[in-house]
Amino acid sequence: MDIVIIEDEIEIAHLIQQTLERESFTCHLAYNGRVGLELFYQKQPELVILDLMLPELDGLELCARIRQKPGTKDPYILMLTARGEEIDRIIGLSTGADDYMVKPFSPRELTARVRALLRRSLRHDSQPQQLHRSRHFIIDLDQHSALRKLEGMPEETLDLTTLEFNLLATFVSYPNRVWSRTQLIDNLWGNDFFGDERVVDTHIRRLRKKVEPDPANPIFIKTVVGVGYKFEDDSV
């Protein structure tokens, strides 16, 4: 699997590269944000390891650009920073990062985080053959396709990342069930999850942008204040 490492501290970049190449990953290095973005589009990696503080284009802006235009792959993003304040973690996750590590970190922890992120897609690729329907959605796990049909509009194939697809499939297969963040993490990531559970909120916002007619006023994926989320849509 290809990994793009965007880190301006050369010694740290090389340490990450050596650590992951010992684990048989293919790594590509960039030392500033602008070159890193070009390298991302060129290599289309499964994972981007991204420093928060970068010259030319900082990590937050770079993360946002990757999420806005992911190319043929929508990669997992592991964000690095020397700062450990909570606000930094929240900002990083809100721009689309999947996980967050504070420097300094051990090579063993880095390897564990990377393998956990990459195993997410491998696990979900082996889901059983099933079809889930609601009034406005058809989720085909075998074909890995999600269709939406709104009143007065043609049927639409939704362009979802692997995680977004599995999140929507979870909701549609259990209509009206209230899910806590912890339950969604257990269902989608299991023991592979590292990091802040509020990453769920980020993925919910991104999914709403793709499935809701008006993401600011969701009618399908509802927030249950103080508890979590639930999916509401009449059964067919």
Per-residue pLDDT for the chain (236 aa), expressed as one digit of tens each? 899 999 999 999 999 999 999 988 999 999 999 999 999 999 999 999 999 889 999 998 998 888 887 666 678 899 998 766 565 666 666 677 888 888 888 999 899 889 888 876 554 444 444 788 898 999 988 788 999 998 888 899 999 988 899 899 999 988 888 988 888 888 777 666 666 777 889 899 999 999 999 999 999 999 999 889 999 987 54
Are the C-beta atoms of residues 61 and 94 closer than 8 Å to each other?
no
Instruction: Report the pLDDT value the prediction gives residue 100, as an integer from 0 to 100.
Output: 84
- 160 burial (CB, 10 Å; 0-12 / 13-18 / 19+) is buried
CA dist., res. 228 & res. 141, Å (int) = 24
pTM above 0.75, yes or no: no
CA dist., res. 231 & res. 216, Å (int) = 16
| Strand 26-30, strand 47-51: pairing | unpaired
CA dist., res. 12 & res. 31, Å (int) = 11
Number of C-beta neighbours around residue 16 at 10 A: 25
Nearest to 160 by CA among 142, 173, 149, 148: 148
* C-alpha R_g of the chain: 18
